[in-house]
Structure 1
Amino acid sequence: MNHSVSELIQGIHRLARGLPPMTIMEVCGTHTACIQKHGIPSLLPDNITLVSGPGCPVCVTAEEEIAQAIFMARQQGVIFTCFGDMMRVPCQQGSLYALYEQGKEVRLVTSPMDALKIAIDNPSKQVVYFGVGFETTTPHTAALAEAVAAQSIPNL
């Protein structure tokens, strides 16, 4: 079955005709970006509205926050740590992965506690843990904060 885009749009309009107004929430930031990039909202009938949902933490992290992370990671004497999914999130300033490729000290961690070990092993460097993640990572990030306070780790 091979349909043209205009045929698909006509089909959506035909199916939506007579339906009450509806709102559809997209729940992935990547989907939202793609929908906007390709102008899909302007192609939908008036009775269909798209709204952006919560999205995953990586997808909904503001570009300004990514830019701030990149700024910190560029600083001399900083080891910047984050989960792998944050490494490739782009912004106008690039990505953390691009900094890693340039030899900056950007390290992938699989647990917030990895950042604690890095800080202990590198007392002369400032270690930054970029705590973006799902609710499941929150207790681990809280445990990191507790450990840093309990062990008086000044460089994390």
Structure 2
Amino acid sequence: MAAPAPEPFDTRAAFQQRLGDVLARARTTLVMFDPDFVPFRLGAPDVDAALRRFLHDGGRLRLALHDAAHLEREAPRFLRLLRDYAHAIECRRTPRGLRDLPDSFCIADDLHIVRRFHSNHMRGEAAFDAPQQTELSRLRFDGIWAESQPGLQAGVTGL
């Protein structure tokens, strides 16, 4: 059987729709990488609800990022989520040597992915039920994760 073709997008609204689709399909694992997670809207009510459902059902979330300032200042819902589900969420900050990595992606269960080719642009693609489409980004995430240090934590932000 042929692999499902990736679905391209090139607008913020389309990215957010595809991200919502990936979050809705997530069951056990979510791994995400973005320089600052601004376009992911982690503090928005709909994203918070999707992540809470996922975590409540036993899912695990790992985020890698360059700069947590936006989340610390503009995403109080995400900080509450981090406090409420500290046992199921890990956040790591990349070292200086990785700060030039420009891509952005979210992978659910090694099956579904939404990725932007460059974090400064909304152009990207999403693929569902396509483990072969997630493989390269997952390997990339594992490398980023191994090089990164613990970052955003509920205790560090004063919660």
Point out the structure with max Rg over C-alpha: 1
TM-score by length of 2: 0.30
> Which has the larger share of helix?
1
TM-score by length of 1: 0.30
> Which has the larger share of strand?
2
